[in-house]
Structure 1
Amino acid sequence: MNNKLKDPNLAAKVEELLSQMSLEQKIGQMTQPERMACTPEDVKEFHIGSVLSGGGSCPGDNHPGDWVNMNDAYWMASMEADGEHLAIPLLYGVDAIHGNGNVRGATVFPHNIGLGAARDPDLIKRIAQATAKEILATGVDWTFAPTLAVARDIHWGRTYESYSEDPGLVGSYAAPFIDGMQGDMGDDAVVACVKHWVGDGGTTHGIDQGETTVSLEELQSTHIAPYRPAIDQGVLTVMASFNSWNGDKCHGHRQLLTDILKGELGFDGFVISDWDGIDYLSKSYYDAVGMSVNAGIDMFMVSVDWRQLIRHLVTHVEKGTVPLSRIDDAVRRILRVKFAFGLFDKPRPLDRRWSNDTVFGGTETRDVAREAVRKSLVLLKNDQATLPLKRDARILVAGKSAHNRGHQCGGFTIAWQGVEDNDSIEGGCSVWEGIQSVAPNAALSEDPFAGDADPAKHDIAVVVIGERPYAEGMGDVRPGDNVIVEAGSQIRGEMKVLEPYGRTLEHAAAHPEDLAIISAIAAKGIPVVAVLISGRPLPVGPEIAAAQAFVAAWLPGSEGNGVADVLFGDYDFQGRLSFAWPADAASINDSSTAPLFPLGFGLQMNG
């Protein structure tokens, strides 16, 4: 347990600095613009406390050196003191949620749903440590991770960001991740941020940013519970959630942000809004600013119009609609985090220990990611001991995701919605490349229907199928717009609706090409090992029936060789489902229908 936020020696430093600050300097610290809308000159002029990169927003050629140089420029601007400006170091934030995946050449770890299946808290700590080093290699200080959502409806497009539907499993990962990321706040540390506070995984119909209708008791036991160990471990920041709870938006919810999080749970760090998250509190942006800061938001993530935010906050204080004491509390919390993290004592990004280090995308972190892939795979079927594969077998490797590192990595990789090619993911290997490296008689089918499958040439086929990349609301699956109307009618405030991924979770209907290729190969008498790449458990009854063996690989990230390690028996399967596996789309969320595979299910090849 390492909670430097409660160090009494910090309080004097914070109060001394706070006493020197003007209102404009204080509000500047509460402002976090996106990099595309804010220059280093702006950072100095407006006393900006933080800058972030949105998904896919990157400097230069998007390699570590480009990031270090950019962060160095922002940092130096924040540290130029004169008669009008105090030297307060800037925090730079990124969404490094499964490795520092926004940057080319990074090690991309499995998304959280796979890590939940691994059921290995020590692995989570080591993943956080490895990710921290790859973040530090780019000169960055802060990541908006981990997500502690407890996903209750797999229609939700962010299901893969949830470790499990079981709050106990999610909670068991919270402290190890924080410990791995923040450590002793030394040179190896990165500021962590637990998100999204709170109830993001509990929305009706799994609608992203929708309405969570539960009692306070259920909110506490299911959605708040995983945050307690993270706060006890000393996590420095918390991000508010877009969803509403019983009709009221979390970004304007004083009971949740102030009374429970800061009061009951004793959180002493600062609360940051989500991306333009306050905008949906009211049609009046001025009113939204006042509502959110009074509710307990301390720092505001603003994509573009951050100058208007500053103007509105100043006006609120001048009119008395936001008390100066609330501003002081917010800035006190921000400064406390910066002091606790040792930010005032760090050198400029260009001169830091890990900046531009070869640890980025290196063997050390890729080995941890490969181990995570091996441990996350869940074996759902293995008829006639089809697995493990023999290295000298004549193996046909087929399917749209067999040689596609973008599909393996999923959303929040290079771009917000992910990518669908190999070239964008520098380093690592596809599932095909992993198989090819150990099986000399393996061949990759270039035919989307595997017309080249031939029982005279192929002993067995590995067919890699699944979902395409998506992120946030664009991964939602909604049967119709009526569910949006229903949710909207329950929420006091505005609602942002994105185009969904699809209308059904039945995989044979959403992606008929996958069942078609499995069936075509099986019809020729070639046994099929199906490997499913997906961000959630999917109704895949026909696909499982047509295959001799079936593996849930989730979104394994850049190290496809981890899949090959297990398929060929170098390691046995050890993953167990962190979500119950539905029999069909109609039975999802129907407690009277037994799942196809229960929570905790997972076969092994050796008994």
Structure 2
Amino acid sequence: MSMTGLFACTHDTSADKELTKTQQSNTEIWPVIVSEVPKDDAIEAKVQQLLSTMTLAQKVAQMIQPEIRDITAEDMRKYGFGSYLNGGGSFPNGNKHSTPQDWIDLAEAMYQASIDDSIDGSTIPTMWGTDAVHGHNNVIGATLFPHNIGLGAANNPELIEKIAKATATEVMATGIDWVFAPTVATVRDDRWGRTYEGYSEDPEIVKSYAASIVHGLQGQAGKDFLGNDRVISTVKHFIGDGGTVAGDDQGNNIASEQVLFDIHAQGYVGGLTAGAQSVMASFNSWHGKKIHGSKYLLNDVLKGRMGFDGFVVGDWNGHGQIAGCSNESCPQAVNAGLDIFMVPTDAWKPLLENTIAQVQAGDIAMSRIDDAVSRILRVKFRAGLFDKPSPAKRQYSGKIELIGHDDHRKIAQQAVRESLVLLKNNNNILPLSPKMNILVAGDAAHNIGKQSGGWTITWQGTNNENSDFPGGTSIYDGFATQVKAAGGQVVLSPDGSYINKPDVAVVVFGEEPYAEGHGDRANLVYQRGNKTDLALLKQFKSQGIPVVSVFISGRPMWVNAELNASDAFVAAWLPGTEGKAVADVLLKGSDEKINHDFKGKLSFSWPKSPEQIVNRNDEVYEPLLPYGFGLTYGDASLLSSELEETYQLSEDLSVGTQVFNGKVQKPWVMNLLSGNEQVAINSSTQTLTGIKYRTIDKVIQEDAFKLALGGQHNAGIQFMSANGFREDLSAEQEKKAALVVELKRENPIKSPVYISMNCESEGDAQGSCRADVNITEALNKTAQSQWSDIAIDLNCFAKQGVSFDKIVVPFELRSEGALSLSISQIHFQSEADAPAHIQCN
């Protein structure tokens, strides 16, 4: 089980209890904040008047926030939810390619249902919240700005405000009211999978940026506050998510209260002073107690001492992680100060009913409910939701030209240019003349999805193609445009092959997209055990071709070998859809003069070793490159080309070969199957004749998927190697491993269910060696509606002719019968760890 899973279901360990004894509880540490948005007596009177007319059911409905995949407009009409959301990778009609008009249509339908009092008696307008964390990132064609880690390197608060305002405009163009941004975590361990959502390891930048982005999203009090082109902002995640032990997402922060304020709270000082109207509670714990259930932090500190008068919203079923709670019942969260339950999945209905019953039973005081609802109504009145036209009739709704507007893309291009950090520039190889013969190589060179990272159309940022980014440009696109215009030559070659030897190779490579816990790492080694990018750099070096590396990443990484193999090295972070702006800095103009110099400076210290966790102002501070480092043109390069390349990790935390562990692992891709039909899965919901697929939550957001087979076709799911290439898994067979599937069945299995593997024989078509294993009996032995493992001895496949050095499909599941099945893990596990359930000795 992952550390995330342990923290999700285990609480108040003896160690945590011991820490709790020593932690401070001193509200004097925290400041009294005077918000730029003062209380308005007229609004307060409206809130109290409306509150006095509401029933308990209407009040609790204001505190329930379901997700668009789990409710209909009729549900909204019946219950009158105060708000709703679309999760990352969730779209109107379940269609990844929904048009802006589709988003508007859903916003309008939900709004009209919320103000229809024919069933629930309420006319309170609902509000839609969305994760627009680097632009309106769920909408096809939107401008996607660099992720926060790059913006931190730019260190330009004025630019940040422009980015936020452009984002608000594109969000308003789709009729949405509320944005779950900014993230104001101060990241202290780069192994954390959300490092790129942080601006810096130092709170200084975070504090100033928080105010700028809140102003950009909401406007400023007395000027354009929450006007027609502005949205409600959310400072998140309160508090300490960037400082968990070992960088574990949703883990435990054991900082003292003084450090919690000094390091992790400065973004809230900036954001709340600027008038942020909502705060999102964090998944993490502080000294073993989940923040969602911390009355001290949510009520005594945030609302009491700091004077926050907006509302506190939970994170994705975060309330269910509190000791004694479930997704369907959690009075502890309300009593602690949570005002809105974010409750995706169908848990929203029992949660609503249970909360009403808990108020009636006295488990939750009516005064606490009134306080929560007053806060929600206060923000709705401040945002003008009672007075503004419906979503379809607002000033910017339907103005499709605002989505990806050229003015917004120009702001994003400026952000890309200013975020680039030059780490190495031997012999001043940069900037390059555009009149040279330039080879642009690497798998990220012409890949807008990879350069944009997580939270990009889909939640994890995976399963996207360049065609999903109309108006966007790759890094190669920028080189191609400028070099061709100047009379030079440019060739795109991801694998580095060429006909005419180039003058220089620009190699664009880096991390695959990820989000949240799926990005957590045990160490900072780049491409551990699979140094394909290093091999490409060395290939060029051996041919006497100068190498310029452009590194795409969501964090600083230990890349000593890659640095050694590069003449120049640029940390490009995750630049978003405006990749062409990278060439603005790396290339000279056609007049051979500098177009744009480097401005970016490291807002994160660069590690000297794979396990070094180092931050500015540490007592012992010995990074490879310090906070604030960044060369400009003409500066002498300081890095040696003989950096230490060997390492020994203190603990090997590697696991068996993963096929799926909450997301599809490279080199595999996932397909939905029905008869002879096959379609790539590139959305959180997908259908094919006789089969439905959707992502679900097991421990964290969307870390599993559910299949529903109708029984009319031979249908199922398949994982195969990208482009049908053969993969060598012979090491798994040598370890006498088993194929292990963690699954949950929802009904008795009446028709055979098969798990298959395919391989490719020499000279034959892919999949010509195939093995099928009937798992029906083993599946029926698992407890219904409970997660269980089924392990299959690899000999079962080998005896049918599968060659493990030529695997094309490591996993395929099919059935001709009706079937409801969820899967959370598919991996190979050595026999020493556990015996296989299905053996074929």
Aligned position for 1:451: 497
Q: CA deviation at 1:587?
A: 2.6
Secondary structure, counterpart of 2:439 in structure 1: strand
Q: Which amino acid aligns with 2:428?
A: A
Q: Which amino acid aligns with 2:491?
A: L
Aligned position for 1:33: 66
Deviates more, 1:511-520 or 1:231-240: 511-520
Q: Per-residue CA shift, 1:149-170, capped at 9, x if unaligned?
A: 0010000000000000001110
Q: CA deviation at 1:185?
A: 1.3
Secondary structure, counterpart of 2:551 in structure 1: strand
Aligned position for 1:542: 561
Q: 1:18 to 1:3 in 2, by over 3 A?
A: farther
Q: 1:288 to 1:260 in 2, by over 3 A?
A: farther
Structure 2 unmatched runs, 5+: 1-33, 220-224, 588-593, 636-841
State how 1:97-176 maps to structure 2 within 5 Å: 97-176=133-212
Larger Rg: 2
1:3–1:235 contact (8 Å) kept in structure 2:
no
Aligned position for 1:433: 477
State how 1:181-580 maps to structure 2 within 5 Å: 181-183=217-219, 184-285=225-326, 289-304=330-345, 305-357=347-399, 358-419=401-462, 420-440=464-484, 441-448=488-495, 450-452=496-498, 457-478=501-522, 504-509=523-528, 511-568=530-587, 569-580=594-605
Aligned position for 2:775: none
> Residues of 2 paired with 1:593 and 1:223: CA distance?
20
Q: Which amino acid aligns with 1:443?
A: V
Q: Which amino acid aligns with 2:626?
A: P
Structure-1-length-normalised TM-score: 0.93
2:64–2:82 contact (8 Å) kept in structure 1:
yes
1:379–1:551 contact (8 Å) kept in structure 2:
yes
Aligned position for 2:685: none
> Residues of 1 paired with 2:218 and 2:477: CA distance?
35
2:184–2:236 contact (8 Å) kept in structure 1:
yes
Q: CA deviation at 1:283?
A: 4.9
Flag the structure with higher strand content: 2
The alignment yields a C-alpha RMSD, in angstroms, of: 1.6
Q: Which amino acid aligns with 1:123?
A: L
Q: Per-residue CA shift, 1:256-306, capped at 9, x if unaligned?
A: 000000011110000000001111113542895111000000001101210
Q: Which amino acid aligns with 1:318?
A: Q
1:17 is aligned, of 50, 63, 76, to: 50
Q: Which amino acid aligns with 1:430?
A: S
Q: CA deviation at 1:85?
A: 1.4
> Residues of 2 paired with 1:83 and 1:595: CA distance?
63
Q: Per-residue CA shift, 1:513-566, capped at 9, x if unaligned?
A: 111111101111111110000000111111111111100000000001110110
2:614–2:623 contact (8 Å) kept in structure 1:
no
Consecutive aligned runs of 4 or more in structure 1 exceeding 3 Å deviation = 1-5, 441-447, 589-593
> Residues of 1 paired with 2:308 and 2:598: CA distance?
39
> Residues of 1 paired with 2:478 and 2:147: CA distance?
19
> Residues of 1 paired with 2:540 and 2:489: CA distance?
15
Structure 1 unmatched runs, 5+: 479-503
Aligned position for 2:82: 49
Q: Which amino acid aligns with 1:329?
A: D
> Residues of 2 paired with 1:7 and 1:124: CA distance?
29
2:608–2:624 contact (8 Å) kept in structure 1:
yes
1:177 is aligned, of 213, 237, 243, to: 213
Share of identical aligned residues, percent?
49
> Residues of 2 paired with 1:27 and 1:260: CA distance?
24
Secondary structure, counterpart of 1:438 in structure 2: helix
Q: 1:58 to 1:442 in 2, by over 3 A?
A: farther
Q: 1:557 to 1:138 in 2, by over 3 A?
A: same
Deviates more, 1:174-183 or 1:5-14: 5-14
Aligned position for 2:632: 604
Secondary structure, counterpart of 1:473 in structure 2: helix
> Residues of 2 paired with 1:373 and 1:157: CA distance?
22
2:319–2:325 contact (8 Å) kept in structure 1:
no
Question: Which gives a bigger RCO, structure 1 or 2 (Cα 8 Å, sep 6+)?
Answer: 1
> Residues of 2 paired with 1:229 and 1:385: CA distance?
40
> Residues of 1 paired with 2:336 and 2:424: CA distance?
50
Aligned position for 1:587: 612
Q: Which amino acid aligns with 1:279?
A: G
2:328–2:351 contact (8 Å) kept in structure 1:
no
> Residues of 2 paired with 1:551 and 1:57: CA distance?
34
2:388–2:394 contact (8 Å) kept in structure 1:
yes
Q: Per-residue CA shift, 1:281-334, capped at 9, x if unaligned?
A: 135428951110000000011012101111111111111010000000000000
Q: How many residues align structurally?
A: 579
1:92 is aligned, of 123, 128, 134, to: 128
Flag the structure with higher helix content: 1
Secondary structure, counterpart of 2:606 in structure 1: coil
Deviates more, 1:275-284 or 1:109-118: 275-284
> Residues of 1 paired with 2:83 and 2:530: CA distance?
42
Structure-2-length-normalised TM-score: 0.67
1:242–1:249 contact (8 Å) kept in structure 2:
yes
2:328–2:348 contact (8 Å) kept in structure 1:
no
> Residues of 1 paired with 2:614 and 2:433: CA distance?
40
Q: CA deviation at 1:594?
A: 1.1
Q: CA deviation at 1:232?
A: 1.2
